[in-house]
Amino acid sequence: MTTEERTRLGADERGPSSPDQRYGARLRRRSSSSILLDQLLDHETANLAETARRIRTDGTLEAAAARIVAARRRFVIGGAKSSAYAALLAIDLSASLANVTLVDGVAARPVDILCDVRPGDVLVAFSFRRYTRHTVTVAREFAAAGGAVVGLTDDPDSSLARLADVAVVIGTRSASYVDSPTAVAAVTHILATLTAASAKGARRRLTRREAVTHELEIYEGA
């Protein structure tokens, strides 16, 4: 990967790593909210476009979907802010696939998962700067126990990318004091959709899910 590509993806030149430092560097001296709005929109649009270009050409997202479809059991994990991405993916995968578990530390604890890793299991892990140590440790132990790891991260040289069987690199560069979630959410959505499209029985499961949803009266209206 070239320096130019890393810069566009947001792996380089993103400034300080902590939100408070980024706030001071990027927002404190803004003279106009309209200027900031334009900068934010430009960054988000460019970042999403570059991430789309990358996943169209490197094949990692399709490889990740294939790993998830082929797995016997699917586990999803993310720490801190990435826990939201992990929850989103786990919910969407569960609509079309069986045996999807969100490793949330409560209902599903890493220690329990790691004691029972089997060949054919896959762990989908989210890790973006500032890279929670816990997620990388669990992913490393999962791989050592014989499971496959799919990593979603923002740097091809991150610890998660280096240990993952498939690493999907997503741009997170932003003009804000926090790194951008836009491309991460988009890639998560696309990954779930690609997986559902390839999964046998997905249509049957979705049909049954809709019937159960209706019987349980989960949503208002039709």
- pLDDT, residue 163, reads 98
Domain ranges for the chain, please list them: 3-215
Domain 3-215 listed as CATH 1.10.3430.10: no
* Distance from C-alpha of 133 to C-alpha of 131, rounded to nearest angstrom: 6
Q: What 3-state class would DSSP assign to 153?
A: strand
- pLDDT, residue 8, reads 42
> pLDDT digit string (tens) for 65-88?
999 999 999 999 999 999 999 999
**Which residues in the chain come in under a pLDDT of 70?**
1-14, 22-31, 221-222
- Phi, psi (5° rounding) for residue 93? -65, -35
- pLDDT, residue 56, reads 96
- pLDDT, residue 207, reads 87
- pLDDT, residue 21, reads 77
CA distance between the termini of the chain: 49
- pLDDT, residue 5, reads 47
Residue 10: CA count within 13 A, CB half-sphere: 31
Quote the pTM value. 0.86
- pLDDT, residue 13, reads 54
What DSSP letter does each residue of 106-128 carry, written as one string?
SSS-HHHHHTT--TTEEEEEEE-
- pLDDT, residue 24, reads 63
Q: What 3-state class would DSSP assign to 169?
A: strand
